[in-house]
Amino acid sequence: MAGTLFLGIDAGGTHCRARLVDGDGKILGNGQSGPANLTLGAARAHESILAASIAAFAGAGLARSAFRRTHLAIGAAGADDPAAVEALRAQPLPFASVTIRSDAVTACIGAHGDDDGGLLIVGTGSQGIVRHKGRFFRVGGWGFMLSDHGSAAVLGHAAARHALAAHEGTVAATTLSRRIMRRFGNSPVRMLAWSRTTTPSDWGSFSPLVFTCAEAGDAVAQQLVDDAVGDVTRLLDRMVALGAERIVLAGGLAERYADHLPRRLTRRLVPARHDALAGAIDLARAAARA
């Protein structure tokens, strides 16, 4: 496969990352763009994927004509919905081959290489993946409206709901609720208008404030964190039941949760061998060999 290139994409809810390598695995270029979660729509995801790809090729000093000798693999948030995957496939992606899997699968492959293991992503969304005896098993990750327990989006949404209730006097106000409402000029009308166009990453933007207020002694923020830790614990327990002896905890909130988990789970936590982009590149290589 002389001259063949491999492009890995990690298409997440906050940003889209790309990595371009040659046949020897040498990194030629990297790129980044905006959100590419398939739940945002195929057109938006395609735009971000293409922008990150172009940036990676530009970093390598290669023109877009090199796409034709490049095998692409995408690990995308929202790729567990077959209709969303087909909608993305319908968009023009002029590569030698295109493989689309969930971002959790590519991250799990990158984290454990050829070995069995599990991976729980807790970022804007959340999803667990267990690879056991050659099969992949999923835990959660059915989107912000139905699932994604322990995620930044779910945590931030819960905080915003509490803030509005506190503003109306139905629950006690705390530092957390006051700081959230100040973002909207203490106006429920402005908050409502904002909520009608929000994405999961917008809701997730409140999560750092929840942790900050919890660390400062805000009782409501601490309860929200405790609830989220409970959700993460239940996800991990299920992954263990599915056969995960080694688990990588990944995503923007991973470090926040790691110190709060019970010992039966922390003893199973291991660092990732490689990242999700490496997992995507492994899939791109497999497609080239097929």
Q: Indicate whether 134 pLDDT > 90.
A: no
Q: What is the mean pLDDT of residues 103-128?
A: 93
Q: How far is CA 156 from the centre of its chain?
A: 15
Strands (E) in the chain, as ranges, are: 5-11, 16-21, 27-33, 70-76, 97-102, 117-122, 126-132, 135-139, 247-250
Domains of the chain, start order: 5-113+273-289 (3.30.420.40), 152-266 (3.30.420.40)
- Residue 194 pLDDT: 98
Record the tokens describing residue 82, joined without a space: 């077959």
**Mean pLDDT value of segment 111-132:** 93
Mean pLDDT of 93-111: 94
Determine the pLDDT at residue 2. 54
Q: What pLDDT score does 78 carry? A: 84
Percent of the chain whose predicted confidence (pLDDT) is above 90? 88
> What confidence category does residue 80 fall into, taking pLDDT thresholds of 50, 70 and 90?
confident
CA 202/CA 189 separation, integer angstroms: 17
Distance CA 198, CA 211 (A): 21
- Supply the pLDDT for residue 247: 98
Q: What's the pLDDT tens digit per position in 223-282?
A: 999 999 999 999 999 999 999 999 999 989 999 999 899 999 999 999 999 999 999 999
Give the pLDDT of residue 179: 98
89: phi then psi, degrees, rounded to nearest 5: -60, -30
Amino acid at 257: Y
Average pLDDT, the chain: 95
